[in-house]
Amino acid sequence: MSGWRKKERLWGLLFIGPNLLGVTLFFILPALFSFGLLFTDYRFANPDMNFVGLGNLKRLFHDELFYLALKNTALFLASVPVSIGLAFLVALALNKSVYLRSLLRAMFFMPYITSGIAIAFVWMLLFQPSKGPINQLLRAVGIENPPGWFSTTDTSMLAIDIIWIWFMLGYFMIIYLAALQELNSELLEAAKIDGARGWVTVRRIIWPLVSPTTFLLLVTGLIMSIKTFGIIQAITQGGPGNSTTIVSLYVYRTAFSYYEMGYASAISWVLFAIILFITLIQWFGQKKWVHY
């Protein structure tokens, strides 16, 4: 038995090894390096570097902008479950029950395959408060005071959320589509014969069956979103009044605009701890709702 164990271990290493080598080189080592910077006042390329102990962390806990960025990040992440829910419905619709499936899938996937950044600012025009098409539509359906979107600090993040839902929808959808292909169609047939129809089938059978995928999307979706900054930098640069400055954008600004690499590392590692915490909650919470 123990010989078999040893062999299994060897096989495990063989299968995972090449990937692990890459992860070590391109993730673990740089991460350790950046963890070391956390305790310094390193400025990029500047050889004059001092050990500051926990100084960066202390500064962080008194940094008002950091707390604001945390709040903004939470508001930003709210878009992820919404987008996942919508993507599930779209994937269901585009799985079998429509014509022109390829074309429709491509349309919904389009946002994800462009960098987003290149066309990000068209959203600025669509959301333009006085003359933009979105508010014109809202006025046409009788809303007299449509939101000011990017022109007020209260609604700018809502606009960003909508853009992010639009952007991530295709990614969530395509993975749901792949998951739907793996569903046991006999089970679905049996459910149909039992008289379960439409919405009941979706809720009682399909939704639980794709729960491992939902779990995957929730974990990766949150991780990807929490790390993103390019699209916000392109549209609002964090404004107005820092109302769309999320933590990762603050890291970017601190590192590349203020050159404070040590402090940027500190913010990053606190952000890392937060993501890890959220992910662990999900990981242990998955037993309650994920059915493998």
Q: Which of residues 32-91 bind another protein (CB under 8 A)?
A: 33-34, 37, 43-48, 59, 64, 90
Q: Which is nearer to another protein, 196 or 248 (CB)?
A: 248
Q: Is 143 in the site for another protein (CB under 8 A)?
A: no
Closest C-alpha among 250, 82, 217, 241 to residue 163 = 82
- Residue from 94, 160, 162, 206 touching another protein (CB under 8 A): that is 94
Q: Is 190 in the site for another protein (CB under 8 A)?
A: no
Q: How far is the CB of 154 from another protein (least distance, A)?
A: 8
Q: Is 196 in the site for another protein (CB under 8 A)?
A: no
Q: Is 9 in the site for another protein (CB under 8 A)?
A: yes
Stretch that binds another protein, among 73-81, 138-146, 192-200, 271-279 (CB under 8 A): 271-279
DSSP 8-state symbol, 24: I
Structure tokens at 96: 């079998």
Stretch that binds another protein, among 25-33, 74-82, 138-146, 193-201 (CB under 8 A): 25-33
- Residue from 39, 76, 88, 127 touching another protein (CB under 8 A): that is 127
Answer whether 96's CB lies under 8 Å from 201's CB: no
Q: Write the single-letter amino acid at 46.
A: N
HSE (side-chain half, CA atoms, 13 Å) at 184: 7
Structure tokens at 105: 């899938």
Binding mask 240-269 for another protein (x = CB under 8 A): xxx-----x--xxx-xxxxx-x--xx--x-
User: d(Cα 249, Cα 7) in Å, to the nearest integer?
Assistant: 47
CA angle at 57 for the pair 56 and 63, rounded to the nearest 5°: 90
- Residue from 67, 182, 190, 208 touching another protein (CB under 8 A): that is 182
Q: Which residue has the tokens 């600090």?
A: 153
Which helix (H) or strand (E) segment holds residue 281: the answer is helix 261-289
- Residue from 39, 76, 164, 171 touching another protein (CB under 8 A): that is 171
